[in-house]
Structure formats: structure tokens, C-alpha cells
Structure 1
């Protein structure tokens, strides 16, 4: 996961992008920079300047940074001094080379130079460093978000349908559609499929915020379809129909609505796949693929197939959970019930 570089934001034939590529090729120092910020106690200005110059030499020798490097910017007060060093990173600012350069600065080069000064505080910032920190934060919080969403969905479905099988199956099927979306994204944007078709240059990564965004949106859409279909099935079962017949009738009655909604969403999301922004392109491809797979294979094949195979086990609830509240589903009304009633004039 990462943020897209400027090279990946537009079609490769655009003159502005060609000019940017040529400038960066001719002048490597014109690319993204890593800003090394230093705060030192009073009396350490000379030592800080010496170690920062040493840091520049080592970074250039190890091809972590490119020449030329801007002069060190310093500010001194009675309480201490602060300095900022702008290092032009190797790579284009968003590829593996640039990210490795930031990691090398933080983990090896700075501790071996300015980090040796007692009482010194250092930080590495800049667009590439921000990308690394944001991606690390997303990876750290993603499991907690997934656990919360899955637990909440399980509890709501358990109470609504008084069945332990329904929430387990719903979560499993929804995760299949989300996983299929992730697979399509990996094939298209990490393994360089359809670059010429969609008009982009892959940097081998997925936008950092996209997996979490796709999971939340797709899980909500999939759950909406699932509850819509299952509610009709439960209505038929509550009227005394066998589960197999209830599934057949419910799928037939809801197929038109689900298919129409899916077609609209797939067409809208597919339009995002034609945009120049890689972030929107990845979101559009992921959403369109997930909705298409969910409305066809998941809801049209796997859901009715599993419900037919399980039969009455679909509504199994352990004895220990019989205390759950009973929520009555509104029974389906006939056409006669929907006709207006005309009262005779008095």
C-alpha cells in the first residue's frame, strides 16, 4: 500500500507528464525531498552542522539522496538551535527506492550521525515520509476496524433473524466479494494488468486508504443486498413455506431489483476507472468489480445454493440463545390487500 506518484496520476500521453518525466530524469534533485528536522540544546550548533554535512556525504555515497543538496537552514536562540536539511531522495518519491531511502535515513544514517549528539531530537518528514507513516497507521488500525464491523454485523443479524447460521454465512459471503475486489485490484494495479487500457503507469502499490475504504463500503452494500433477500425468504418461511420453496420464490421476486441496482452502480463506478487520478481509478475498478461479482456469483449463485443445501438448518439457534428477542417480519401482502377500500356514502 502506498500513495500514488505524480507519474501515475495521468495518462502517459499528456505533454505535462512527459515534461515532468524528462525533468526528473535530467535533474534527479528536482524530485521529492526528505526533510531532516533537528532540535539541539544550546552550544551544539557547530557540532550539529558538522554531523549534518556528514549525513549528506553518506546519503549521497549510498545513493539514498541526490546532489545538489540545499544549504542547511538553521535558527538559533538562547535556549538552543534548530536546523532543517532538505535531501532530494532517490527514486520518484513514491516508488520502492524512495521509501527505502526514508527508512535508511531513519534507521541507519541519522542514528550514525546527528543522532549521536546528546540531547538532540530529530525527525524525518516530507511527502514520502508522510506516505510511510500514513500507510503504517492504516495497517495498524485495519484489524480493529475489521473486527468491529464483523462483530457488529454478526450481532445485528443474529438478533434480526434469530439464527446463528445466517450471520456466519452472510459474513462469509460478504468477505468473498470484498476479497474478490482486492484480488482484482492486485491483478490490475500491482501486476501491471490493463495499464495501456486504463491509461496509467503502475507503481506496484495500492493507495493506502483504499483497502479500508473498500471494505467498509462494499461490506455495507453486500449486507444491504443480503438482508433484502433474506427478509423475503424469512417472510415466506414464517407463512409456512418450506425453505427451498421460500428461497426460490424470494430470489425470483428480488432478482429484478438487485440486478437493476447492481447495473446502475457498476456503470457509475466503472466511470471512475476512466479518470486520470490513480486513487479514483483504483476505487472505481475495485467497487465495480466487487458489485458485479456480488450481484451475480454471490447473491445469484452462492446464497441460494447454500440456503437450499442447509434447508431448515438456516434457522438454527442454540438453546443458550433462545432468550434473544423475537422480531416479527412483516408478512408479504397479496394484491387484494393493496387495493384501496372504497367506503359507501352515508
Structure 2
């Protein structure tokens, strides 16, 4: 590390010009990168995916895209039967070439699920051709709204709703710069409080270079494979937090060395050989944890893994090269207006560390109990897509229309019907209509529903397919369809079930693999066997607690209205736990490495375990708190993205970081290090001789 720093300082102009060129290019091409990101969440090779591909290929619509719902909520005193002529005329306007339509008046069994008799609401299901992107019906919606222009039924205008319309923002993306600006604003406040000088700008500079460079690399990745749109948020916001964390560690150590009397070059060199070394191991650990996503059988999660691992690696590279140049060349001048840096040792954290060490067993027990209690809700976790009612919030006409539709007694599963492709439509209708939990089976006549000897029937479940009852009904439908000759089951709900099975059914070995590699890295960095073991156990415990709180908030619906203006989702988005694990596992290790490296440094300097532990906490407590707060604010910014799935993901990350920096690293880590005593430093003699 020392030789690298010497080379960087000897070639300062080259380093600055190189990073300037790369950052400017990445910034200029960032809009192009974002435009090339994809919105495909498919699971190739899974039964529902193959069925959806066959449906789309044969009929040009449906499959992996839920239908649009054209709803009519009749005024009091009116009924579907009484308004039948007007409703029929209105729904007939929906029939366009290449569009598949199901109405309550198709003259086939099962249509009563869409409204009948004394019902006050009626709905037509419309499957137009879809386009790629966040708004699959962007081209069809204007045409649909045009067909309904001026149409009323009993004085009421039809309203278009459905899962794609209910998605927050209607599928319209907000520029990523909005979230980055929000996260950066919070970071500025924290950094100004930490440094009290222009040094607060240095971590922001490092973050800006790291983010734009990573966007440039992601652009190259898009030339090789489809990259999920989620990556832009990870690069922008997690990149912001990680890059600032790494530079904060180095800058604070540099300032500590200068306060101790070191000259500029020596201060930079010492900071890089100590804090810089911790940054390298932290960055590699984060990257390794994100590699767990790469081996999963879902293409979009693989790209999240590839895109995600670029973030820490680029941040480390910038921190090791550009940062020492900035500190050496301008660091002293940037300490204005605070010329005298404060003591590197925090009195507050020294007291906290001393108290925890003095009462190590009580502290460890209380912290463990707190985390276990917080983790309890995870035992009831359900994976899938959020229930439609969770997105039907707010005062938009589409949200109000869906709420009214279900309030009037129409089945909650109408927005996400199960599509069955079969050569025996009549047999399928008869068989599937008898399945418990099925509200109706739709099988209209016509070439938009049947062609080439095969056709579609759509099964409307009585409950949302993400609910417990709906999931049971979906399973029963798939089992019943398996008894039909050549029947294939598709739709988004079946796709979700396959995704859960693909991720969690066959990828159990990913967790131990990541833990094994991380153990090897930490053991090498800390020259200890038991410190890494302890770190891994604490990481798993803190992540479980983060999952538990996320389930409590989102799945069970506590605080969702107050925090997000939403209702309970009933499930946790299927990809969130595995993606959150990969990020939290690595990011949490950052703080563990920061603290344990400083404890190890104190021990190597001759301190006893207790003294070294208090020393490590006192010198890193303020750093970890500040870094975690910045990362927490970045995740708060991520939670403002108008997509429920991303909000759930951001909630898990924010809670995980908050718990990790307080309960785990502030209490459990020092308590257990003090409790283990000499055991912490055990290292095989053969390896010790090889150092």
C-alpha cells in the first residue's frame, strides 16, 4: 500500500487528469446508460416463463403482462343487469384488432366474476399488445382512452385501472438525479458537522467520480447483457454512501496523523497504509457478497450483482488513487475555517466503549435479545409481489376505481388472472371452475382467444394471488391444470411463484459460499480465526432483525400508512431478501473491518484486549456513526423512488444499516471481543510464521 501511495503522489497530475477524463465521460454518457437499462424480471427456463412466452408468441398479448381493467362503478340505485345495454355498448368499444377482451356479457360461464345481476360494479379485462419498458401499455392507453372518450354509463364515465396503471407514477420514471441530490444533501449536513471545514467536500468529490465512473462501466455492461433498471439506483445511492464511507475513513485517519504532528506526505502515507488497507478489504468483502447474486438463476438479479459489485471496487480505486493526491496537494488548505482538527478520540464513544466492556456479558445478552425479538416477524415472511391493494392507494382515479371494485364485491384477483394455454378449452373451464378459491373462468369465443388448435382460458381468483388464500388457490389451479392434456399455466402470479422457487429452492448453497469466502478475507485481514467467526454470526443476526422489521412494516402493514402513505403489501417482494442480504452483508462488514482493524492495531501496539477494544471504539465510533448515517440517508432517498418494490428494498437496507451501526457495532461487537479475551487473537502458528 505504501508503494502504491508513493507512486500516486509521484504522478499526481497524471492521476488527476485520468480520473477527470473518465468522470466527465461517465457523466456525459450517464443518460445513455440509463436509457439502455431494462425492465425484464423474467425467469427463463421456468414453467410459467415458457407458458407466457408461448401465449405472447401466439396471441401477441397477455402472458407476463396483466390486463388493463376498464371499470364502471354505477350510482346508487343502479345495477349491472339494469345498465346492461349501456355497459355492453361501452365495453364493445374496447374491441380493437389484436386486442383480447373479456366482459361480463360474453355469454360464457364464469363471466359473473366481472359483474352481474344486482352488482353495482362491472369490469372488462383488456389485453392490448405490450411494449418493452416500465410502461408496457404506454402505446395502448391513449388508444383505449380515446375509445372511451365521451362514454358514460348511467351518467358515470368508465375508469381504466390495473396493475400497470396502479404502479406508482404510472410507470413514468423520475430522474435518478432527484434521489442522488436528496442523498447528497443529507451527506453534506453530516460531513459539515464532522469536519467543520472545506474537507467536507472531499468525500463528495470522491463519490462523484466513483458514481460517474461506475455508470460508464455499466454502459459497457449493457453492450454485453440486459441490465436491470434497479442498477441505476444502486450506483447512484449506494455508490454515494460507500464512496463517502471509504473516503471518510481515510480522511479522518489523515487528519488524526496531522494532528499528531506528521508532515503532509507522512500523514497521507500512514493514512493509506492503515485506513487504506481497511478500505481495500472492506471493498473486496462487499464485492464478494454481491457475487452471490451473479450465481442465481434470474438474469435481472445477475445484472444487479454485476452492477452492484462495480460500486465498491470503483470506490476503492478512487479512494486509493485520487484521494491521497487531493489530501497531499490541497488537504491543508481545505481545513479552513477549522484550522485545528479535533481530537481523533471521541470522549462519548470512549465512555460507551468502557461501559460496554465493563458490563460485557449483560451488554451482549441485552443486545442479542433485542435483535432476536426484532427478527421474530421474519418467521412469517411470505414472498411474492405486493398485493394490488398496496399500490391502489392515494386519490388517483385508477386507485379509487380498484378500491371501489373490490368494495362492491368483485374478486380481488381480477387484476392478476391466471392464464392457461390449452387445446381443450371446454375441459379446462369445467375442471378449473371447480377449484376452491376460483371466482370464475373466462373463455370468450373468437380468434383473439383461440387459434391454431389451442386457446386461452383466464382464471380469476377470488383473492389476490399474493395473499395466503390466493397463493393456495393458485397452487390448486396449477395442480388441476397438470391433469389436462398439454395445458400450460402462465400469468404474473405463476411467474412469481416460479421466481421464488428458482431463487430460494436451488440456491441454498450461496449463503455458506459467501460466508466461507468472507471468512477467508477477514481472517487474512485481521490475522485471527475467531474475530471473523464472530463478525459473520453478528452479520446474520443483524440482517435477520432487518428482515423482521421489514416484514412487520410492509407485510403486516404497521407504519406503512404513516411512513409511505401505503397499505400492507401482504408479501415481501420475492427478490428483496436475497438482494438485501448481498448488500447488507457486505456493507455491514465495512464497519466491522473499520472497528476490528483499529482494535487489532491497538492490540499489536501492546494493549490488553479490554484496552484495545475501548481504544478501537473510541477512535472509530464517530466514524462509523457518521458513515452509517450518510448511508442511511442514501437509503431514505432510495425509499422515495415511486416503485413499491424499491421502497421495500430501501426499507430493509436502511433498517439493516441503522441496527448494524448501533446495536451490533456499538454494543455487541465490543462486548464479545472483550468477552472472548485472548481467544480473539488465536492464529495458527504455521500461518503466523508465514506472515
TM-score tier (shorter): 0.7 to 0.9
Residues 416 and 465 of structure 2 are in contact (CA less than 8 Å); yes or no, is this contact kept in structure 1? Answer: yes
Size of the aligned set, in residue pairs, is 303
Q: Alpha carbons of 1:281 and 1:17: their partners in 2 closer, same or farther (altered >3 Å)?
A: same
Residue 93 of structure 1 and its aligned partner are, at CA, apart by 4.1
Q: Alpha carbons of 1:159 and 1:100: their partners in 2 closer, same or farther (altered >3 Å)?
A: same
Partner of 2:60: none
Q: Alpha carbons of 1:89 and 1:6: their partners in 2 closer, same or farther (altered >3 Å)?
A: same
Residue 219 of structure 1 and its aligned partner are, at CA, apart by 0.6
Give the Cα–Cα distance (whole angstroms) in 1 for the partners of residues 498 and 688 of structure 2. Answer: 44
1:18 equivalenced with 2:400 (yes/no): yes
Partner of 1:53: 426
Residues 159 and 324 of structure 1 are in contact (CA less than 8 Å); yes or no, is this contact kept in structure 2? Answer: no
Query: CA deviation digits over 1:259-304, x for unaligned, max 9?
Result: 1111112222234445553212212221111111111111111111
Partner of 1:99: 471
Partner of 1:31: 415
Residue 128 of structure 1 and its aligned partner are, at CA, apart by 0.6
Give the Cα–Cα distance (whole angstroms) in 1 for the partners of residues 438 and 682 of structure 2. Answer: 61
Q: Alpha carbons of 1:186 and 1:230: their partners in 2 closer, same or farther (altered >3 Å)?
A: same
RMSD (Å) for aligned C-alpha atoms: 2.4
Partner of 2:481: 110
Partner of 1:267: 633
TM value normalised by structure 2: 0.41
Residue 188 of structure 1 and its aligned partner are, at CA, apart by 1.3
Residues 181 and 286 of structure 1 are in contact (CA less than 8 Å); yes or no, is this contact kept in structure 2? Answer: yes
Residues 428 and 457 of structure 2 are in contact (CA less than 8 Å); yes or no, is this contact kept in structure 1? Answer: no
Give the Cα–Cα distance (whole angstroms) in 1 for the partners of residues 393 and 643 of structure 2. Answer: 9
Residues 93 and 127 of structure 1 are in contact (CA less than 8 Å); yes or no, is this contact kept in structure 2? Answer: no
Residue 101 of structure 1 and its aligned partner are, at CA, apart by 2.6
Partner of 2:355: none
Q: Alpha carbons of 1:70 and 1:26: their partners in 2 closer, same or farther (altered >3 Å)?
A: farther
Residues 609 and 674 of structure 2 are in contact (CA less than 8 Å); yes or no, is this contact kept in structure 1? Answer: yes
Give the Cα–Cα distance (whole angstroms) in 2 for the partners of residues 89 and 69 of structure 1. Answer: 15
Q: Which of 497, 512, 516 lines up with 1:147 in the alignment?
A: 512
Query: CA deviation digits over 1:322-346, x for unaligned, max 9?
Result: 236755xxxxxxxxxxxxxxxxxxx
Give the Cα–Cα distance (whole angstroms) in 1 for the partners of residues 403 and 525 of structure 2. Answer: 57
Give the Cα–Cα distance (whole angstroms) in 2 for the partners of residues 10 and 227 of structure 1. Answer: 43
Partner of 1:336: none
Q: Alpha carbons of 1:325 and 1:151: their partners in 2 closer, same or farther (altered >3 Å)?
A: farther
Matches within 5 A, 1:71-150: 71=445, 73-76=449-452, 81-107=453-479, 109-112=480-483, 114-115=484-485, 121-150=486-515
Give the Cα–Cα distance (whole angstroms) in 2 for the partners of residues 88 and 122 of structure 1. Answer: 17
SS, match of residue 573 in structure 2: coil
Residues 164 and 317 of structure 1 are in contact (CA less than 8 Å); yes or no, is this contact kept in structure 2? Answer: yes
Q: Alpha carbons of 1:64 and 1:11: their partners in 2 closer, same or farther (altered >3 Å)?
A: closer
Residues 387 and 569 of structure 2 are in contact (CA less than 8 Å); yes or no, is this contact kept in structure 1? Answer: yes
Q: Alpha carbons of 1:270 and 1:255: their partners in 2 closer, same or farther (altered >3 Å)?
A: same
Unaligned residue ranges in structure 1 (runs of 5+): 39-47, 116-120, 328-346
Q: Which of 515, 535, 538 lines up with 1:173 in the alignment?
A: 538
Partner of 1:257: 623
Residue 173 of structure 1 and its aligned partner are, at CA, apart by 1.2
Give the Cα–Cα distance (whole angstroms) in 2 for the partners of residues 89 and 304 of structure 1. Answer: 53
Give the Cα–Cα distance (whole angstroms) in 1 for the partners of residues 421 and 524 of structure 2. Answer: 54
Residue 308 of structure 1 and its aligned partner are, at CA, apart by 1.4
Matches within 5 A, 1:235-250: 235-250=601-616
Give the Cα–Cα distance (whole angstroms) in 1 for the partners of residues 610 and 392 of structure 2. Answer: 51
SS, match of residue 652 in structure 2: helix
More off after superposition, 205-214 vs 12-21: 12-21
Unaligned residue ranges in structure 2 (runs of 5+): 1-382
Give the Cα–Cα distance (whole angstroms) in 2 for the partners of residues 239 and 141 of structure 1. Answer: 47
Give the Cα–Cα distance (whole angstroms) in 2 for the partners of residues 3 and 141 of structure 1. Answer: 20
Partner of 1:330: none
1:158 equivalenced with 2:158 (yes/no): no
Q: Alpha carbons of 1:233 and 1:185: their partners in 2 closer, same or farther (altered >3 Å)?
A: same
Residues 465 and 474 of structure 2 are in contact (CA less than 8 Å); yes or no, is this contact kept in structure 1? Answer: no
Give the Cα–Cα distance (whole angstroms) in 1 for the partners of residues 520 and 475 of structure 2. Answer: 42
SS, match of residue 443 in structure 2: coil
SS, match of residue 174 in structure 1: helix
Residue 240 of structure 1 and its aligned partner are, at CA, apart by 1.9
Q: Alpha carbons of 1:57 and 1:325: their partners in 2 closer, same or farther (altered >3 Å)?
A: farther
SS, match of residue 66 in structure 1: strand
Partner of 2:652: 286
Q: Which of 221, 237, 245 lines up with 2:587 in the alignment?
A: 221
SS, match of residue 31 in structure 1: strand
Partner of 2:677: 311
Residue 143 of structure 1 and its aligned partner are, at CA, apart by 1.9
More off after superposition, 291-300 vs 264-273: 264-273
1:69 equivalenced with 2:443 (yes/no): yes
Residues 387 and 464 of structure 2 are in contact (CA less than 8 Å); yes or no, is this contact kept in structure 1? Answer: yes
TM value normalised by structure 1: 0.79
Give the Cα–Cα distance (whole angstroms) in 2 for the partners of residues 318 and 326 of structure 1. Answer: 10
